[in-house]
A and B are shown apart, each in its own frame.
Chain A
Amino acid sequence: MTDTPPDPTPIAAYVRAAAQLLALPLSDAQVGRVSVQLSRTAALAATLQRVPLEAHDEPAQIYEPAPFPAEDPS
């Protein structure tokens, strides 16, 4: 049995662990490439962490941009 070398970054370790949990086989090369992609998304997701959200702020499950108007515009 060959030991997999330790992942060089926490995100690569996360990718490997999450992929295993989802039964998604990834080669070492894929882990590296996917980690690059996930790092980009992580940077964007971090900006959303700064948005204050209260418990009553519910998700838009089937998003509706505005209620459909009752009357046509004049």
Chain B
Amino acid sequence: MIAAMDGVTIAAAVRSGEYRAEQVLDACIARIAATDPQVNAFTDRTFERARREARAIDARRARGEPLPALAGVPYAVKNLFDIEGLTTRAGSKLLLGDPPAAADAVLVQRLRDAGAVLVGALNMDEFAYGFTTENSHVGACRNPHDLTRIAGGSSGGSGAAVAAGQVPLALGSDTNGSIRVPSSLCGVFGLKPTFGRLSRRGSFPFVASLDHLGPFARSVADLALSYDLMQGPDPLDPGCHATRVQPVRERVDAGISGLRIGVLAGYFDEQAGPEARHAVALAAGALNATPGVIWPDAALARAAAFVTSASEGGALHLPRLREHAADFEPLSVDRFIAGALQPAEWYVRAQRFRRIYRDKVLALFRDWDVLLAPATPVSATAIGAEQFELNGTLVPARPSMGLLTQPISYAGCPVVAAPLWPNGAAALPIGVQVIAAPWREDLALRVARRLEADGIATAPLASMPD
């Protein structure tokens, strides 16, 4: 069944002639048709474009040309990525009157050049301000492993589409956890690269000083390959700090011998429920990781990330809030307004703290290569839930899903979210963050690959009608 194959396997099958790219596309379209009425991951379908791209791959093979690394691999992108000819929604109805994008986002261009086939754009929280993808304009995205529950957010459509087998590969964005949270709740692998690694040009911003882009997949090999193919400097994106490609694909199977792997305690224990702690314990046991590592200033970093996001997000949308507040997502409009009104001192202080925080985090990584932490406090909550219980206390459901991801992204560290199933394959998944020092995605991917190879982290296809 093609839906169960990962992208690396599909590309090999297309290269060998076992499948034509158009056959793969037909299977993908059929899977989307069968499952999306329930999942609601897709907001836009680009099947005509996909057909052209798939046929072009098949034509190249027929001519005997070598095929690129992702030849014929279907993928979809969070609907804040520009897709040529399509209006970029960013989860909102406020942008629907805007002209269509004149060009693909840089990362879409790079995947297109690698032979991947774009099949559509995916559901998200409006303007990426949320952790649940309960989008009031187009409907909530539902978790393929339990349709009554959230997919996580804000890249919920990306996590759900991969978990449902609609596509083997999807792109999302992560400002405060928006790749890692849906990866955790949907049971797929996700990579939030180092801040400044991948170009963000052609994506709709949320918090310019925190936004990252990255892939979702059902295998670490797919994460590594797609990440490698999306790397590259971009002098036109002032937030793209990488000046050359640092490929990881060939290093992913290098094993973990000699790596110093620790487990974060303190804040990361206190803000995690029993399932989350159990998942980390399973991963730590398999990796023989050292417990009790304290991440510096985690609670302060979460506070600073919250303040920074509110201020930049609110300021970005202030003109729209003045004129069209009633058309915003009701679940987040008040947070946007509150952010726009915040005293400047809060924001400046948070940014000044960030530089001090960075130095403390870099100092920690002098002693460790990789650190483990839960990705979400709990597994997927019910759609519409206002609160969940966290160690005996009721906490607000929507902002609290990011409690464990925000401190890490505020430092800009790369993280692989690895899906674990602490209560068995029939229960819900929950993710573990595999965290490395800035620019060391290779280490995070190596450790995640070990968890995958040992069967500790897996991303099985959700049981859906085909």
Interface of A toward B, CB cutoff 8 Å: 14-15, 18-19, 22-26, 30, 33-38, 40-41, 44-45, 47-49, 51, 53, 57-66, 68-69, 72-73
Q: Are A72 and B246 in contact (CB under 8 A)?
A: yes
Q: Which residue of B lies closest to A65 (CB)?
A: B412
Q: Number of contact residues on B: which range applies?
A: 35 or more
**Contact count A vs B, C-beta below 8 Å:** 133
Does chain A have a CB within 8 A of B12? no
The 8 closest A-B pairs by CB, nearest first: A65-B412, A37-B338, A44-B303, A65-B438, A59-B351, A66-B438, A38-B338, A18-B341
A49 to B352 alpha-carbon distance, docked (Å): 12
Interface of B toward A, CB cutoff 8 Å: 194-196, 209-210, 238-239, 241-243, 246, 299-300, 302-304, 306-307, 310, 318, 321-322, 325, 334-335, 337-342, 346, 348-356, 358, 362, 399, 411-413, 437-440, 442
A44 to B306 alpha-carbon distance, docked (Å): 8
A30 to B8 alpha-carbon distance, docked (Å): 50
User: Which secondary structure dominates where chain B touches chain A?
Assistant: helix
User: Which secondary structure dominates where chain A touches chain B?
Assistant: loop
Report A-chain residues with C-beta under 8 Å of the C-beta of B318. 22, 24
Q: Are A15 and B341 in contact (CB under 8 A)?
A: yes
> In the complex where A22-B318, A37-B335, A51-B300 touch, is A66 in contact with B358 (Cβ < 8 A)?
yes
Q: Are A59 and B348 in contact (CB under 8 A)?
A: yes
Report A-chain residues with C-beta under 8 Å of the C-beta of B341. 14-15, 18-19, 22, 24, 34, 38
Report A-chain residues with C-beta under 8 Å of the C-beta of B210. 63
Pull 26 A–B residue pairs with CB atoms less than 8 Å apart, ordered by A: A22-B318, A24-B321, A26-B337, A37-B334, A37-B335, A37-B337, A41-B306, A41-B338, A41-B339, A41-B342, A45-B307, A47-B303, A48-B307, A51-B349, A51-B353, A51-B356, A57-B355, A58-B352, A59-B352, A59-B355, A63-B196, A65-B412, A65-B413, A68-B439, A69-B246, A73-B246
Report B-chain residues with C-beta under 8 Å of the C-beta of A73. 246, 440, 442
Q: Which residue of B lies closest to A70 (CB)?
A: B243
CB distance from A23 to the nearest CB of B (A): 6
Q: Which residue from A33, A47, A60, A72 sits with its C-beta under 8 Å from B334? A: A33
